[in-house]
Amino acid sequence: MILWSEYAWLGGDDVAAGVSIEIADGRIASVAADSERPANATVLRGVTLPGLANVHSHAFQRVLRGRTQRRRGSFWTWREAMYAAAERLTPDDYRILATATFAEMALAGITVVGEFHYLHHQPGGRSYDDPNAMSHAIVEAAAAAGVRLTLLDTCYLHGGIGAALAGTQLRFGDGTAEAWAERVDAMAESRTARIAAAAHSVRALTPGELAVVADWARERSKPLHAHVSEQLRENEDCVAAYGRSPLQLLEEAGFLAERFCAVHATHLSERDKNALGAAATTCGLCPTTERDLADGVGSASELSAAGASLALGTDSNAVIDMFEEARAVELDERLVRGERAVNDPAALLAAATAGGYSALGWDGGMIRPGACADLVALALDSVRLAGTPDDEIVPALVFAAHPSDVTDVLVDGDWVVRDGQHLKLDVAAELKRALA
């Protein structure tokens, strides 16, 4: 297959014109800018980007969109509504809901998703006949929606530091970290679905249990993710129990390596930020959820300066819009710092693409030979982007683009979205059915 793009972002501050992209066996075989349109090429109007990467998602939380906004409180009161949603799901329900949610992501230009999955078992904690029934539902959902998947199978063993699992949390636990590892080892990978590891948080695992998860990921060279310092209370509880920050506890357990993604990384000390940077880790920021839950605002610019890479996620899926996630990193930080342009637009676009692909264990998020043939095209004649000068397309995308500007999406060399329509699913109808 040969594509010819009017414009394409090949990295950096500007876009290239007249870009031919040859695809073979799900990979980009060649890229040539300033080229004449080949006679046999499929034309992509507007601007072509590498596929967008959603580094952190909880698909089932899509049911909460619009349903918690009148409840005053905090993250901890919102969590009760989230538990109520989780309590009702069966594997069949989850497959339907996740399919619709992932298809919404595809329409928004998301080509790979990291599903941070801890809803493992039946209500009360008993395993299904297939202990991975819920995991298989997610894998099937991603395939049906046409998106690439890294299933971040999450170890979750305690209801808080020193507290047992209770209520809905019983569905999350495998009893021991060793039992978690045994269950995860039974999962098979495919061409577009991979299995990786996550520790929910320092609230949900002891130091010894964290080490088991870290060892599992290291021995298999798998990505490793964890919620880190999302809430001030998490930091306070961790210091009270262990005399150190959550990040220090994870560091001692062997988490800090290039494969590690610290999700949220909102309330970090200078020492924590420098440690993440020194280990060349990734920080997975989810600003639309972080502000929706009143978590706080992290410092992307300081994390980048320390040497950490950035990636972006939709987390609770209150919003599915990677352009909004990218600009929110900058705009939220502006409010805190009282200063503009502290994060470079090209770096924010890279966080939404290559940063997420790398943190999820895929060679993608860039338009270059050898990369995954995952691409997204956006119209430049929409009311948001019309009239944008050629040398300002990158900042315009970050600060003005919207999922409705997405016209075409390609995953693994196959079309998923054409002319703004999902080729397999009536996504609005599927969401309505899933959320009924």
Q: Kindly give the residue spans of alpha helices, DSSP state H, lying in 307-392.
A: 322-337, 345-350, 356-359
Cα-Cα-Cα-Cα dihedral sign, residues 273, 276, 283, 264: negative
Marked catalytic residue, from 153, 315, 374, 412: 315
In the residue annotation, 200 being an active-site residue is answered as no
Q: In this predicted model, what pLDDT tens digit does every residue of 262-316 receive, in sequence order?
A: 999 999 999 999 999 999 999 999 999 999 999 999 999 999 999 999 999 999 9
| The pLDDT value given to residue 72 | 83
Residues composing the chain: 436
Domain boundaries in the chain? Answer: 2-50+365-422, 52-359
Classify domain 2-50+365-422 at the CATH class level: mainly beta
208-233 average pLDDT score: 97
Alpha carbon distance 353, 417 (integer Å)? 18
The count of C-alpha atoms lying within 13 angstroms of the C-alpha of 392, restricted to the half-sphere facing its C-beta, is: 8
For 383-416, the pLDDT digits (tens) are 999 999 999 999 999 999 999 999 999 999 999 9
The per-residue pLDDT of the chain, averaged, comes to 96
Amino acid identity at 318: A
Assess whether pLDDT exceeds 80 at residue 76.
no
pLDDT of residue 74: 81
* CA–CA distances in Å: residue 117 to residues 177, 300, 351: 15, 25, 22
Give the 3-state secondary structure of residue 51: coil
Rg (CA), the chain: 21
Distances, alpha carbon 130 to alpha carbons 184, 352, 388, 427, in Å: 12, 35, 53, 29
Taking only the tens place, the pLDDT of each residue in 42-75 is: 999 999 999 999 999 999 999 899 777 777 888 8
**In the predicted structure, residue 424 carries a pLDDT above the cut 80:** yes
Phi, psi for residue 180 in degrees, rounded to 5: -55, -50
Is 264 one of the catalytic residues? Answer: yes
φ, ψ of residue 375 to 5 degrees: the values are -135, 155
Stated pTM of the model: 0.97
CA distance linking residue 347 with residue 50, whole number of Å: 14
All residues at 6 or more sequence positions from 214 whose CB lies less than 8 Å from its CB, including other chains:
199, 224, 253, 254, 255
Angle between helices 322-337 and 393-400 (to 10 degrees): 90
pLDDT at 270: 97
Q: Which residues contact 91 (CB under 8 A, 6 or more apart)?
A: 128, 133, 134, 136, 137
Q: Give the architecture (CATH level 2) of 52-359.
A: Alpha-Beta Barrel (3.20)
What is the maximum span of the chain, computed from C-alpha positions, in angstroms?
A: 68
pLDDT 10s digits, 111-168: 999 999 999 999 999 999 999 999 999 999 999 999 999 999 999 999 999 999 999 9
Strands (E), 85-162: 110-117, 148-155
Backbone dihedral angles phi then psi of residue 114, each to the nearest 5 degrees: -100, 105
Q: Which helix (H) or strand (E) holds 197?
A: strand 193-199
Q: Locate 305 and state its tokens.
A: 């300066």
Quick one: pLDDT band at residue 85, thresholds 50, 70, 90?
Answer: confident
Q: What is the pLDDT of residues 20-50, one digit of tens each?
A: 999 999 999 999 999 999 999 999 999 999 9
From 158, 225, 227, 264, active-site residue: 264
- CA triplet 356, 381, 391: central angle to 5 degrees? 65
- What does the pLDDT read at residue 82? 85
- How high is the pLDDT of residue 79? 80
